[in-house]
Amino acid sequence: MLILAIVTALLLIISFIFNATKTISALRIALRMFLNLLPQMIPVLFFIAFILALLPPEAIEKYMGQDSGITGFLVAGAAGSVALIPGFVAYPMAGVLVKNGVSYPVISVFITTLMMVGILTLPIERKFFGWKVSITRNILSFAAAITIGTAMALLWRFL
């Protein structure tokens, strides 16, 4: 957090010295993105806060924690495949989940399916690629997410 603040401040100063106008437009972009994100994020974060208050920590640990095994992957994969959460909201949400006992490999399956698999956006995708290509891509991507999660689970402890 502190390092990030220092790096950002330094880059901002360097950028400003080289080109003040560009830097100001960068700050404008930042402000606009922040204001666009905030209203979307508040309901999602509250929903997560509510679910976490409702579920006992042991349940999260059991179904999505370190030793949840394939159950955790499938729950996370299914959720990620149907959810339509923009990445800017998904990562803060994932951060909260990790703090509450969801394991990193399970999060990686959730994030990967969220980004690569889109069941609800299939009708859009098929307009570009056709059904056959779209469905194949989505199935392969789901398998990829489980593969990445498994590799994460195996490697996480050693690193």
Q: Which of 20, 71, 104, 131 binds another protein (CB under 8 A)?
A: 104
Residue pair 115/148 in contact by the 8 Å Cβ criterion: no
String marking each residue 111-130 x if it binds another protein according to CB under 8 A: xx--xx-x--x--xx-xxxx
C-beta atoms surrounding 96 within 10 Å: 15
Q: Which of 20, 33, 59, 70 binds another protein (CB under 8 A)?
A: 33
Q: Which of 75, 79, 119, 148 binds another protein (CB under 8 A)?
A: 148
- Kindly state the smallest distance separating residue 49's Cβ from another protein, in Å: 4
- CB of 40 or CB of 71, closer to another protein: 40
CA terminus-to-terminus distance, the chain:
22
Q: Nearest Cα to 122, choosing from 104, 111, 134, 136?
A: 134
Would you tell me the crossing angle of helices 69-82 and 104-116 to the nearest 10 degrees?
A: 30
Cα distance between residue 73 and residue 63, in whole Å:
9
| Contacting another protein within 39-68 (CB under 8 A) | 39-43, 45-46, 48-50, 52-54
- Kindly state the smallest distance separating residue 23's Cβ from another protein, in Å: 7
- CB of 75 or CB of 116, closer to another protein: 116
